[in-house]
Structure 1
Amino acid sequence: MKTLILFASKYGAAEKCANLLSEKLNGDVNIINLKENKNINLSDYDKVIVGCSIYVGNVQAEIKNFCDTNSVSLMAKPFGLFISCMTDKKDEINSYTEKSFSNELINHATIIDSLGAVFNFKKMNFFERQIVKMILNSKNKTDELNIKVDGKTNISTISDEKILKFASVMND
Structure 2
Amino acid sequence: MKNYYFLLCSILLFSCRQEKSNNQIPDALNDNKVSVSGSFRSYDDENLVDKLYAELIKNDQELQKFDSEILNNLNKSHEVRKELFSYDDKSKNYYSSVVSNTKSITDSLLKKKLIELLKNSESKYYMRVSNLKKMSGIIEKNNASISDNYTFFKTALTIPIIEKFQKENLPNAKPLESFIAEQIEIKNKIESNNK
TM-score, with structure 2 as normaliser = 0.19
The structure that has the greater radius of gyration is 2
TM-score, with structure 1 as normaliser = 0.21
Q: Which has the higher contact order (CA 8 A, sep 6+)?
A: 1
Larger strand share, 1 or 2: 1
